[in-house]
Structure 1
């Protein structure tokens, strides 16, 4: 069986999934090749590979810890590259996926709110594919208590924060299930961003 023929089956059946802070990739075995290469990148930065790893022909699955740009809510894409016995190379098309699926807010980011940079931060994200009842936004400081607020849609300005403090924001979609229960899905985190020091002060002591 030629590499070009078996590649079509790889394109049709390659899968990915996630659980417990790891992401998994699986693909069918292709006979007569040298090795596979798994390529994963964030759609927002296609020049940087998050995963670029070779596997022998008898390995058809891989688990990777979610960290950095490879985390819940990030929109990524992946491809399998097959190297044949004569060093011929075949790529599967890039397939886009959102880590966490269609119930998680996508690609959240945070920036200082220019109207009150010492006490507020603006959080934006792409709405989850499925429409929730509302969103929760958690402000997670470098130290101190986590504060939670709710909103109906992005963007959201989080007021009342401590000055001169780094925060990570976690955005979660909340759904009303068919049985009447409320379920908050796994959240999507931003990178850390810091509020400004109080005006006239270099630092704030708590």
Structure 2
């Protein structure tokens, strides 16, 4: 069977969608799953990272089932997209250290109040063209350093866009005041170790993988 289909997967804030396209761009089949959110405290917004994985799996399975038996063997490429910001802290084995904090979370607003008018604020604007907000990794890492230091001690990676790329967080421990500068450093990005072998295996099978995110 000729490989002529593209599978697109978009993991958003509340829904993960999988869509199968043919060579003309026509949608052949769709699948989706709802991502539950929790608010354990006022202004907190979190989700279970295992739920994120299960929802993606279900969306893809439903999409391929709708397309028909054997259609999955016709997939020539997979395009992945995910929302940015928030914080997904995982350990060296790729397991969650705590529940994911999504970008709608506002717990770190007091950190921003302290940063405004300081060099941290102006450096962030100069380096990135924007300033941090409460749901950005910089503010959340600073909040964790103050309130959940254990998370930073156990975390090895901060997973961005939920697919394929993660950021090492070791150097942020004890360096709260420089968090945003370090987060925007060009050499701070490295492949997520558990994902890299998967992508390599798919590539060896002839599948082309595109990892896309909606943040700069």
- Is the pair's TM-score, using the shorter chain for normalization, greater than 0.5? no
TM-score scaled by structure 2? 0.27
Looking at secondary structure, tell me which structure has more helix per residue: 2
TM-score scaled by structure 1? 0.28
Looking at secondary structure, tell me which structure has more strand per residue: 1
